[in-house]
Amino acid sequence: MTETVGIVIVSHSSDIAKGTADMVRQMVGTEVKVAFCGGNPDGGLGTSVPLIIDAINAAWSPKGVAVLVDLGGAETNSEMAVEMLEPARRDLVVVCNAPIVEGAVMAATEAAGGSTLAQVKAVAEELSAD
Amino acid sequence: MSVPSETFKSLVKAAAEQVIASAPELTSLDQAIGDGDHGTNMKRGCEAVLGKLDAISAQPLDEAFKMIGKTLVMTVGGASGPLYGSFFLAAGEALSHDKDLPDDLADVFSSAVNAVSARGRSQVGEKTMLDVLVPVLETLKTAAGQPDLIARVRSTATEAVERTAPMQATKGRASFLGARSVGHVDPGARSSCVLVHAVCAGLEARA
């Protein structure tokens, strides 16, 4: 099996994160590694840097990982998580400026075809283009 | 000259306890223009810092700042985690590169404020914590060495928080409200003020 870009979904809500991952799996299948996390370190609404780091490592692929986020803090915490990865992995993770559900589905679809990380990110971010 | 570890420890303790005590106020400010979690997030982060206070204050000053930053990053759970985390990580980084406290306070504070600005891709005037931190930095520069430095820093922070009320948020969750964010003090600016005031009070108590 060829390696594909991994997908990580980071929401403030673990329900949204899991639901988005379920939709990706149903539409794209299991050939793309998908990991998700949601909720703050106490389990309430929010995001958690250690959980994001775990999700990125769980979805890890030598081709890299694309991260889809919902609101502001998810983005800031995801960027922080990327910086705290081991140095060899940092440059192979991108946080996409895209809507979380549509972006995750589009990114995973593109990844399934064997596209590069840059291509996966570009396809997800087309959704945010004017 | 450097800050004695006991002084550092008491200042960190006072600052963390003051933020924890202010959590209800921070939450109520955040309920007005954000998602209402700033108080609980900051409280969780500060409790984690207090839990590691002995280990933190046993480190050299640069490592101690980095440890505070990393603890906040890992435990706060909102955007304020990476923002305040980056503040302390950058301060620690500056101290690792030939800077010392209190002599280079303005330089160290400047590195820390720049890190917040970069992390949040934000500038002064956007109704954020920077609207307190940047004026405080200016006072640290202009009033350096003055006998009333602490008093001037305190009043700078107080006045700066109030100036965030008429601002319209363009960054963070409050930006979704657009013009409706006007009239409310920014919760991040308020928490920065709480931290600054706690350090001022701690320094005066030891003077």
- A11-24 pLDDT, tens per residue? 999 999 999 999 99
C-beta atoms surrounding B56 within 10 Å: 21
Confidence of residue A41 (pLDDT cuts 50, 70, 90): confident
Among candidate residues B195, B177, B144, the one with its CA nearest the CA of residue B11: B195
- In CATH, what number is assigned to the domain containing residue B30? 1.25.40.340
Q: Flag whether pLDDT at B2 surpasses 90.
A: no
* Interval A65-88 mean pLDDT: 94
For residue A42, the model assigns a pLDDT of: 85
Map tokens 């800077």 to a residue: B99
A40 contacts B77? CB cut-off 8 A: yes
* Interface contact flag, A73 B85, Cβ < 8 Å: no
Alpha-carbon gap, residue B54 to A88, rounded angstroms: 33
Q: What is the pLDDT of residue B150?
A: 96
- Tell which of B30, B35, B177 to mutate to test the A interface (max A CBs under 10 Å): B35
**Alpha-carbon distance A6 to nearest alpha carbon in chain B (angstroms):** 23
Give the Cα separation of B137 and B119 in Å (integer).
Answer: 18
Which residue intervals of B22-174 are DSSP H helices? 23-33, 38-51, 53-57, 61-75, 80-96, 105-120, 130-142, 149-163
Choose the closest CB to A49 out of B35, B73, B119. Answer: B73
Lowest mean pLDDT of A74-88, B59-73, B106-120, B164-178, name the range: B164-178
Is the ipTM beyond the 0.85 threshold?
no
Contact A73 B86 (CB under 8 A): no
Domain of residue B188 covers 5-206
What is the count of structural domains for chain B? 1
Question: What is the predicted pLDDT for the residue at B179?
Answer: 84
Instruction: Give the distance from residue A67's alpha carbon to the nearest chain B alpha carbon, in angstroms.
Output: 17
Whether residue A130 is predicted with pLDDT greater than 70 in this model: the reply is no
| pLDDT, mean of residues B91-118 | 95
Model pLDDT for residues B33-73, shown as the tens digit of each residue: 888 899 999 999 999 999 999 999 999 999 999 999 999 99
* Separation of first and last alpha carbons in chain A: 37
Give how far A128 is from chain B: nearest CA, Å: 17
> Of the candidates A50, A76, A84, which has its C-beta nearest B79's C-beta?
A76
Q: Is the pLDDT of residue B88 over 60?
A: yes
Q: What is the pTM assigned to this prediction?
A: 0.91
Minimal Cα distance from B119: which residue of A?
Answer: A76
- Check CB contact of A79 with chain B, cutoff 8 Å: yes
Q: Which long-range contacts (CB under 8 A, 24 or more apart) does B92-97 make?
A: B92/B61, B92/B62, B92/B63, B92/B64, B92/B65, B92/B66, B92/B67, B92/B68, B93/B62, B93/B66, B95/B61, B95/B62, B95/B65, B96/B62
- Chain A's closest residue to B43, CA to CA, is A42
The pLDDT, as a whole number, for residue A1 is 57
- Of the candidates B74, B78, B172, the beta carbon closest to that of A46 is on B78
Q: Quick check: B1 pLDDT over 70?
A: no
B77·A72 Cβ contact <8 A? no
The torsion defined by the Cα of B158, B163, B167 and B173, in degrees rounded to 10, comes to 0
- Min CA distance, B201 vs chain A (Å)? 31
Tell me: pLDDT of B105 over 80.
yes
**Predicted pLDDT of residue A60:** 97
Q: What is the pLDDT of residues B122-134, one digit of tens each?
A: 999 999 999 999 9
DSSP B134-167: HHHHHHHHHTTT-TTHHHHHHHHHHHHHHHTTTP
Confidence of residue A116 (pLDDT cuts 50, 70, 90): very high
Beta-carbon contacts of residue A42 (< 8 Å; ≥ 6 apart) = B44, B77
A6-128 is classed CATH 3.40.50.510: yes
Which of chain A's residues have a Cβ under 8 Å away from the Cβ of B78? 40, 46-47, 73, 77
Residue with tokens 């958690």: A48
Residue B112: pLDDT above 90? yes
pLDDT (0 to 100) of residue A72: 80
Q: What is the pLDDT of residues B145-195, one digit of tens each?
A: 999 999 999 999 999 999 999 999 887 777 778 888 899 999 999 999 999
From chain A, the residues in CB contact with B169 under 8 A are: none
